[in-house]
């Protein structure tokens, strides 16, 4: 049984004060939910707000903190970077890596993403490894190859246990921030392909355990159908995670659908 995850990526939004306001609102709107049935909920603020958000949330009681990026070295002459031990010190448990915006605007490669995933896991945190095709790649019929190759490269050298404990997010680039959601059955098909690829490069057991999320314009109105798919274990939510009411509705929607696994 894979425990579902709903993770909010706040991207480059919210001052510390605004982040505190948002997380307090999320906390209030989710506090009456049955903690035993609730998915793992993760919020990923900007680095500067992580500590303040963590101080408001009680870890282990439903809502965890994630960072949106990290560097793979622990310390040293790497001006402007933030390492995994420093993120851990802020009480974060998850780190997003390989988000398409980082691939697109910051030149992040699968080699970088693999180094980051290894660093995250070596410090006992959980990577949320993102993959997904662009519109151009989809229209050229290259979706499966692109996604498979990203996963093979991103997971290279990870132990079976590390793979099983990781989270993967399938995020078609054309669906991110566009309001265009990928058809749920199609998202499930690609996620199954990702799971089969994990089985090939790691093991069937780790493939059955790794949680694979869908991301791309997830909204309260789409989550139930997405969560009712056999292989979708949750969602990575951008825009809708910035509105406490929408994020709470997405969590509630995920709880209405019991995972078939
Ligand atoms: C994201 O940033 O990972 C994302 C999926 O964004 P949105 O939900 O806004 O499409």
For range 109-132, the mean pLDDT: 98
For range 119-144, the mean pLDDT: 98
Look at residue 142 and tell me if it is in a domain: yes
What pLDDT was estimated at residue 260? 43
What pLDDT was estimated at residue 60? 54
Tell me the C-alpha distance between 219 and 175, whole Å: 12
* Residues forming a β-bridge with 237: 8
Tell me the C-alpha distance between 165 and 28, whole Å: 29
The band of 261, judged by pLDDT with boundaries at 50, 70 and 90, is: very low
Tell me the C-alpha distance between 174 and 190, whole Å: 15
For range 218-233, the mean pLDDT: 97
123 included as an active-site residue: no
Please tell me which residue in 101, 108, 133, 171 is annotated as part of the active site.
171
Tell me the C-alpha distance between 45 and 63, whole Å: 13
Which DSSP string do the residues of 144-157 spell out, in sequence order?
A: HHHHHHHHHHHTTT
217 lines ligand 1 (CB under 6 A): yes
229 lines ligand 1 (CB under 6 A): no
What pLDDT was estimated at residue 161? 98
- Give the CATH number of the domain where residue 111 resides: 3.20.20.70
User: Domain tally for the chain?
Assistant: 1
The band of 1, judged by pLDDT with boundaries at 50, 70 and 90, is: confident
Look at residue 120 and tell me if it is in a domain: yes
Look at residue 168 and tell me if it is in a domain: yes
220 lines ligand 1 (CB under 6 A): no
Look at residue 52 and tell me if it is in a domain: yes
Look at residue 151 and tell me if it is in a domain: yes
Look at residue 51 and tell me if it is in a domain: yes
- What are phi and psi for residue 165, nearest 5 degrees? -90, 0
Q: Is the pLDDT of residue 30 over 50?
A: yes
Look at residue 261 and tell me if it is in a domain: no
142-177 residue pLDDT tens: 999 999 999 999 999 999 999 999 999 999 999 999
Q: Is the pLDDT of residue 206 over 90?
A: yes
Look at residue 198 and tell me if it is in a domain: yes
Query: Containing domain of residue 218, as a range?
Result: 5-256
What pLDDT was estimated at residue 59? 60
**DSSP alpha helices (H): ranges in the chain?**
16-30, 47-56, 84-89, 100-106, 110-122, 135-139, 143-154, 160-164, 184-201, 204-209, 223-227, 244-256
What pLDDT was estimated at residue 128? 98
What pLDDT was estimated at residue 243? 98
Please tell me which residue in 99, 101, 108, 133 is annotated as part of the active site.
99
* Residues forming a β-bridge with 168: 129, 212
pTM, two decimal places:
0.96
92-101 residue pLDDT tens: 999 999 999 9
């Amino acid at each position: 049984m894979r425990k579902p995850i709903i993770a909010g990526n706040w991207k480059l939004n919210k001052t510390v004060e605004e982040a505190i306001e948002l997380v307090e609102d999320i906390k209030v709107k989710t506090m009456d939910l049955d903690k035993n049935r609730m998915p793992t909920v993760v919020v990923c603020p900007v680095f500067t707000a992580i500590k303040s958000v963590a101080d408001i949330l009680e870890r282990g009681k439903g809502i965890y903190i994630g960072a949106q990026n990290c560097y793979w070295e622990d310390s040293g002459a790497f001006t402007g970077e933030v390492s995994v031990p420093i993120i851990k010190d802020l009480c974060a448990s998850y780190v997003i890596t390989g988000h398409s915006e980082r691939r697109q605007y910051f030149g992040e490669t699968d080699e970088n993403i693999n180094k980051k995933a290894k660093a995250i896991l070596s410090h006992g945190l959980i990577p949320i490894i993102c993959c997904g095709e662009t519109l151009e790649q989809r229209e050229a019929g290259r979706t499966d190859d692109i996604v498979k190759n990203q996963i093979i490269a991103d997971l290279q050298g990870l132990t079976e246990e590390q793979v099983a404990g990781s989270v993967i997010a399938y995020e078609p680039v054309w669906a991110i921030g566009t309001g265009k959601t990928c058809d749920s059955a199609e998202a499930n098909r690609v996620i199954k392909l990702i799971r089969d690829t994990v089985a090939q490069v790691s093991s069937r057991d780790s493939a059955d355990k790794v949680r694979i999320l869908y991301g791309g314009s997830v909204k309260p109105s789409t989550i139930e159908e997405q969560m009712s798919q056999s292989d979708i274990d949750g969602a990575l939510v951008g825009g809708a995670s910035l509105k406490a009411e929408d994020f709470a509705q997405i969590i509630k929607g995920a709880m209405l659908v019991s995972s078939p696994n």
